[in-house]
Amino acid sequence: MNRPKRMLVENIAWAREIAHADPQFFPRLAQGQSPKVLWIGCSDSRVPAESITNANPGDLFVHRNIANLFCPSDDNTMSVLEYAVRVLEVDHVIVCGHYGCGGVRASLLPLSNDLPHVNRRIAPLCALGERHRKELDTFTELDARANRLAELNVLEQVRLLRQAPVIADRAAAPLVHGWIFGLHDGLIKVLASGYDQGCAREALPSANADTRETVESAGF
């Protein structure tokens, strides 16, 4: 069985299972959406927002792109933010990056002439890497440099989002959080909590910190 056909078969099984467990699930879903969270994440197939947070359809309003970037000049990104904040009136905006991000890693390597659109997309990442070159150069391994830049990238997107007029000018502005997902253990680490209204911090929890302690220390 080819992959698309397998996906359709799995869809039928999924829909039947959900409807059997909760006959009103799909009728409720069809009535409209009222998510409380806008999720800005990476397009990487290993980081599906609903799966890694155990969320249901309708819980998250999701925008994904290479390296979870917020670009104020991009109508695609801004239209999602605008709709989420002004129409859906979400309470939280979460930027979630991940370790082992290919887009972040690519920004630290020579750019490929075969990928002009990707090059333009990750240009802000290249600039961010240059700004933090002194710190990044302290890491001898490329993977370690890329993972640290992935953290710095999340913090940078949090900063940009908090400054965006769509958020800053709203009377009850949504809280902006910065998270990063570990492919190696499946856990999310809090880098910046929206409950701390100060600047996105760069003093990060230890990579080995217990998740519960990390969440509690971030004010959740």
Summarised one tens digit per residue, pLDDT across range 86-130 is 999 999 999 999 999 999 999 999 999 999 999 999 999 999 999
| Burial zone of 34 (CB within 10 Å; 0-12 exposed, 13-18 middle, 19+ buried) | exposed
Partnered with residue 12 across adjacent β-strands are none
- pLDDT score at 209: 45
Give the pLDDT band (50/70/90) at residue 215: low
pLDDT beyond 90 at 205: no
Asked whether 181 and 201 are in contact (CB, 8 A), the reply is: no
How many other CB atoms are there within 10 angstroms of residue 193's CB atom?
22
pLDDT beyond 70 at 211: no
Asked whether 204 and 122 are in contact (CB, 8 A), the reply is: no
Task: List, for residues 134-150, the tens digit of each pLDDT value.
Answer: 999 999 999 999 999 99
Q: For every residue of the chain, which 3-state class applies, written as one string?
A: CCHHHHHHHHHHHHHHHHHHHCCCHHHHHHCCCCCCEEEEEECCCCCCHHHHHCCCCCCEEEEEEHHHCCCCCCHHHHHHHHHHHHHCCCCEEEEEEECCCHHHHHHCCCCCCCCHHHHHHCHHHHHHHHHCHHHHCCCCCHHHHHHHHHHHHHHHHHHHHHHCHHHHCCCCCCEEEEEEECCCCCCEEEEECCCCCCCCCCCCCCCCCCHHHHHHHCCC
pLDDT beyond 70 at 197: no
pLDDT beyond 50 at 45: yes
pLDDT average, residue stretch 28-53: 98
Tell me which of 214 and 59 has the higher pLDDT.
59
Q: For residue 177, give Cα distances in angstroms to 32, 61, 96, 159, 192.
A: 26, 15, 8, 10, 5
pLDDT beyond 90 at 199: no
- pLDDT score at 84: 98
Q: What is the mean pLDDT of the chain?
A: 91
177 appears as a binding residue in the annotation: no
Asked whether 73 and 95 are in contact (CB, 8 A), the reply is: no
pLDDT beyond 70 at 213: no
pLDDT average, residue stretch 19-29: 98
Q: Which residues are catalytic?
A: 42, 44, 46, 98, 101
Give the pLDDT band (50/70/90) at residue 196: confident
Provide the CATH topology of domain 33-217: Beta-carbonic Anhydrase; Chain A (3.40.1050)
96 appears as a binding residue in the annotation: no
pLDDT beyond 90 at 171: no
pLDDT beyond 50 at 212: no
Domain ranges of the chain: 1-30, 33-217
Q: Angle, nearest 10°, between helix axes 142-163 and 123-131?
A: 110
> From CA 125, how far away is CA 147, in angstroms rounded?
13
